[in-house]
Each structure stands twice: as C-alpha cells, then as structure tokens.
Chain A
Amino acid sequence: MGLWRYAARRLVQIAGLFYVILTVLFIVFRLAPGDPVERMVDPSMDPEDAEVLMAQLGLDRPVGVQYLYYLKNFVSGDMGISFHYGEPVAEIIADRLPNTVLLFTSSTILAAVVGVLLGKRASWSKGRSTDTVLTFSALATHTVFLPWLALLLIWLFAYRLGWFPITGMVSEDVWLDPGATWWTRAVDVAHHMVLPLASLFLIQFGTFLLVMRSSMLETLKEDYILTARAKGLPERVIRNHHAAPNAALPVLTTIGLSLAFSINGGAITETVFTWPGIGRELVLAVSQNDYPLAQASFLLIAAVVLLANLVVDLLYAVLDPRIRY
C-alpha cells in the first residue's frame, strides 16, 4: 500500500512541476520582444479566420484571462494552428509522437541492457585488458560529439557501403504500394531505424557501462558476497545472482538523471536522420518561427521527461525492497 501512496504523491509533485513549466512558458512568451498575438496567430492568415482563432485562444482579452484560456486550451488539447503546416498543432504532435517514442525507448532499453551486461563483464575482469578496452570504449562513445558520429555513420554505412537508407523513416514505394503487407512495412521502418538507433545507442550505453562497473565493484565488497564465497558457491552464481541484481539499481537512477541529456541527443539524431519525431519538429519549428508548434513540442517533451522520471522512480521503489515509502 505504501507504494501506491508513494506513486500518488510523486504524480501530484510531477503535475505541480509541469504546471510551473506551463506557466513559465506562458510568461516567457509574453516577455519576449514583439507582439504576442503574432506568435500564436499566423500573420499571413486571412483576417476573418485570424479573428476567429484569436477569440478561440482568448488573445483579445486581458492577460489574466489569456492565461486561463491558455490553461483551458492546453487541457483540452487545443494548442493553436501551426504556421508552417496550417494544421492543428495537436494533430501534428500526435502524428510525430509515436515515432519519437519508438526510437527513444528502444535505444534507451537496448543501451541499458548492453551497458549493464558489459559493465558486469568489465568489473569481473578488472585490471585486465578486457576491462581496459571496455572502459575506454565506454569513455570514447560517451564523449563523442553525437551529430558528428551520426554523420560518420551515414557516410560509412549509408553512402559508402549502401547498406542502409541515408535519411527518413519509410520508403515511399513500400508505403504507397497498396499490396504491401504490414510485415514488409515493419521491415522497411526497421531498416531505416538501424542507423539512428545505433547513434543514440552508442552515446548512451557508455554511461550505463561505467555506472554498472563501479556499482558492481562496490557491491562485491559487501559482506553477503563474502558469505556466498564462504558457502563455496561458484563465482558465476555469485556474480549473476548475488551481486548483479543489487549493482544494477544505480543504473536505473542514471537513466532518470541522464534523460535530459539523451533527449537533447534525440532531437539532434532525429534532425540529422530526418526521422519524423517531436525533437526534429521542435528544431524545424524554431527555425521557421512556427511558435505554436515550437511551444507545443517543447511542452510535450517536458511532459515526457517528467513522466519517464516518474516511471524510473517507481521501478526503483518496486525493485529495491530496502526502500520503503
């Protein structure tokens, strides 16, 4: 029962945080130089349509009322109309969100799993060449400049070797062909996803490896490991069943803490590979002065980060029986 109360409390806290972000964004949009109305209603819009939209967004009212409209519209999912696409922002976001989630969750999970396994391996052979190679490659991939890595991957695997498509998420000929089965389509997306996934995976897994390695080394000093050794258990059992599950817990915290960093990386990766996700949409919206879309993408990303943190906290609480709330 304690867990549920903890979950509820964290959810309320996160809702509070999100409300603050929402409010700060509203204020910043009004503080910026220029006419706030021009930021929500496309200046090139037909005047009559513009008036309707302004009334709908409450932009003809005093600032206090505008704020209430802003909150109401956000809650009902009405975030204005994109200048660039001329479509409701909510629809564009809903269209892009699954792509980002697909790319991002798969790369994070993959990086965490591989990082934990290799970190375990490294700690077990500490001081030997396996450890040195693993630690150094983790350091190198952790500090490599992501867009550069992405460009190099494109150059080598897509341009020179021609194994993967250079950009995009789907091939038009596959998706416009009515006879294509869902399977061929899935394979097509997976084929496009390999390189962006590889880039995100490479910059993420090093952190997990390093954290797992040092946490494993700490754990191996614990008394219960000594007990296990004294009982004469095989080293493999000690490593996999006694040490690793406990050592893996800090990795979870790392996922939460490095999330902001990975989200930055996600936006860059999507942009370089023209992967149609939220991060790329934000970058495009900013360069095209498409304020409603930029605002909504930003808020959505903030919401995703907060929720992911919540999930990590809850997983931690479930997995670590020592923590009682």
Chain B
Amino acid sequence: MSPDGRHRSLRRRRWLERFLDGWAIYRRNPLGWIGLGLLALFALMAAASFVPPLIDPMYHPMAGVDPEITSSMGPSLRHWLGTDFMGRDIFSQLLAGARVAFLVGISAAFMSVAVGTAVGITSGYLGGLADTLLMRLADMVMVMPALLVVLILAALFGQLNIWTVVLIIALFRWPGVARVIRAQTLTLKHRPFIEAVRVAGASHRRILLRHILPNVLPLSFLYMTFRVTSAIMIEAGLAFLGFGDSTTVSWGMMLQWVWKTGHMFKAPYWLLPPGLCISLITLAFYLLGQAMEEVLDPRLRKEEGGVG
C-alpha cells in the first residue's frame, strides 16, 4: 500500500471511531430516539409515495380523481383518509408531501450550510477587511425574514418553482451557520497543531481544507438539522399562503386547499393530517439536532441539577 493510501485508510478509521463514540452517547438520549423514529416513519412514507399511483391512476396525488367522487368525503376503505374537494385521495397526497418535505428540507439545508461553512472559515481564517465585510453581509441577511423575501420575489418573477424556492431559502439562511463556524475557526486558528502545520510550510489552502475544515464539519452537520427545520417551515408557509409550486403536492399546499375551499370546519380528516405531519417532521429534525448537540458539546452532557 502506498503511504498516501495508508494515510487515507487511517483517516477513515479515525472517522469511524469518532462516529461510533458519538453514537454511544447519542443512543442514551430518549428524545434522540423519538426523533430518529419519527424520521424513519417519514422516510418510509416518502418511499411509499411511489406505490399508490401504481395501484390505480386515481391515487395519483395531483392528477388522479376518483371518478365516483366529486367532493370531499370522509375516510373509507377506498380512501383511507378521505378525499379532497375534487375527489383526490388525501392519503396519497400525504405520502407525496413527505417526499417534497425531505427534498426541500435537506437540499435547502445542505446548500445553506455549505455556504455558511465556506463563509465562516474564510472569514475566520483571513480576518481583517474580508472578515468585516462578510460579517456585515451576514448581519444584513440575518435580519431579513426569508418568507417575506420569497413573497416579494414571487410578486416580481411570478410563480416560483420548488427549486427556486429552495435556492432562495438557502441564500437567506446561511448567516447563523457562518457565525458559529467563524467563531470555531478563530479558536482553531491559534491552536498549536495549526501553527505547527504552518511552520512546516503548508499552504493556506491546505491548512483550510485539510486541517480546519474537518474540525468544523461536525458542527456544520449539526446546524444542518436545524436548517432543515426552518427550510421545511418556510416552504410550507409559502405554499400555505398560496405561492407554492403548483405542480407539486406539499403539506403546506394541502392545508391551503382545506382553508381556501372552506373545508376547515367540516373536514377534520383533511385538516389534521398535513399539519400534524409538518409539525412532527420539524420536531423530529429538531430532536435529532438537540441529541447531536449533546454529542458534540461535552459541556451539555453531564449537566448537574440546579437544586443544591
């Protein structure tokens, strides 16, 4: 094995060890288990969303209409959660909504965390004018209410498709991550091992990518779970207000249909499921994040009780 290859496999083993150590702490947290369990359930729903349209075209979440039903009906054997105002199956819509929620949540979170991490380490490592400018920019973006920004862009550019929404959410949700990563980079920058690498003649690029980035990545990953929550909420809010992508079924849009067609007082079977799903999936990611925070921050682990 070449020296470089051995180095790589060592590194891989270290990552695995770190992961297993973390997992040992994570698994002791009951709330973390609830989060994981809920996520597994939603992942199952997302995977199952491909099945109903295969059984019968009327189960297609968007285009499928039950030929015998033209209005909203309560749950039955044929439609487990009933039908919406034009006879579409609510259960298949709910499954499709899980897919959209994951898609939006994870892709927006990934992008915003990638941008936030890049800005954070650059700003923290370079310092000086670049740092000031980037952080001022972060301050500005941070105070902008993302939902309303998307709204005003929807007004100007017309109907936004789901990927545009994802992109905008990502572009407005990075400053929080950038601040945390910058603070972490600042503390890393003056650690002896970084100084040692610098003395050994490593380039800035190498120091950043090989030595600082791996040390801030766990923190970025943690922030991703929190960003998933906010991305799902923003997309759902947008869809609820009637500015979602009209070619996809999301939970927010389902709620908008209940509300706008005036079914909220007479169709609880339609009002309850989508809202419950949005709330639970955000709760799940939140619990996941909290349990991970405990893994990454040893100070949170053995908190002694406040009572003396």
Chain A contact residues, CB within 8 Å of chain B: 17, 20-21, 25, 28-29, 32-33, 39, 123-127, 139-140, 142-149, 151-152, 154-155, 159, 216-217, 220-221, 229, 235, 257, 259-261, 263-264, 267-268, 271-272, 279, 282-283, 285-287, 289, 291, 294-295, 298, 301-302, 305-306, 309
Contact = CB atoms under 8 A, between A and B. Distances in A.
Given A123-B306, A145-B279, 5 more contacts: A29-B156, A143-B282, A148-B279, A221-B304, A263-B145
A151 B144 contact: no
A301 B148 contact: yes
Q: Which 9 residue pairs of A and B lie closest in terms of their CB atoms, listed nearest first?
A: A148-B275, A32-B156, A264-B147, A145-B278, A286-B155, A143-B283, A263-B145, A143-B282, A260-B145
Contacts of B241: 267-268, 271, 283
B244 to A, nearest CB: 12
B230 interface: yes
A148 B140 contact: no
B286 A124 contact: no
B230 A261 contact: yes
Interface stretch (B109-117, B202-210, B231-239): B231-239
A235 B308 CA distance: 9
10 contacts: A21-B140, A29-B156, A126-B305, A139-B287, A145-B233, A149-B275, A268-B147, A271-B241, A294-B152, A305-B144
Nearest to A151: B264
Interface string B234-260: 101100111100000000100100110
Given A124-B307, A229-B308, A264-B237, A286 B143 contact: no
Interface string B261-292: 00011001001001110110011001100000
Contacts of A151: 255, 258-259, 264, 271, 275
Contacts of A271: 241
Contacts of B304: 221
A124 B306 contact: yes
A140 B287 CA distance: 10
Interface of B: 139-140, 142-148, 151-158, 176, 229-230, 233-234, 236-237, 240-243, 252, 255, 258-259, 264-265, 268, 271, 274-276, 278-279, 282-283, 286-287, 303-308
B253 to A, nearest CB: 12
Nearest to B158: A33
A222 B236 CA distance: 42
A234 to B, nearest CB: 11
B234 to A, nearest CB: 7
B304 to A, nearest CB: 8
Given A145-B275, A155-B271, A267 B147 contact: yes
A287 B275 contact: no
Contact of B307 (A125, A144, A309): A125
A264 B148 contact: yes
Contacts of A148: 255, 271, 274-276, 278-279
A60 to B, nearest CB: 22
Contacts of A147: 237, 240, 252, 255, 259, 275
Contacts of A125: 307
A28 B155 CA distance: 11
Contacts of B306: 123-124, 126, 216-217, 220
Given A139-B287, A147-B255, A154-B264, A260 B275 contact: no
Nearest to B151: A286
A143 B279 contact: yes
Contacts of B274: 148
B119 to A, nearest CB: 17
A182 B105 CA distance: 48
A298 B229 CA distance: 24
Contact of A267 (B148, B259, B282, B305): B148
Contacts of B154: 286
Contacts of B151: 267, 282-283, 286, 294, 298
Given A124-B306, A260-B146, A20 B265 contact: no
A196 to B, nearest CB: 15
A259 B140 contact: no
Contacts of B230: 261
Contact of B155 (A159, A229, A268, A289): A289
Contact of A142 (B242, B286, B305): B286
A154 B308 CA distance: 45
B146 A264 contact: yes
Contact of A139 (B145, B158, B283): B283
Given A145-B233, A148-B275, A298 B283 contact: no
Contact of B286 (A32, A143, A159, A220): A143
Instruction: Please indicate which of the listed interface residues B143, B233, B268, B305 has the most CB atoms of chain A within 10 Å of its own CB.
Output: B143
B143 A217 contact: no
A29 B153 CA distance: 9
Contacts of B158: 33
A316 to B, nearest CB: 15
Nearest to B232: A145
B305 to A, nearest CB: 5
A272 B156 CA distance: 23
A260 B175 CA distance: 13
A286 B237 contact: no
A145 B235 CA distance: 11
A151 B304 CA distance: 41
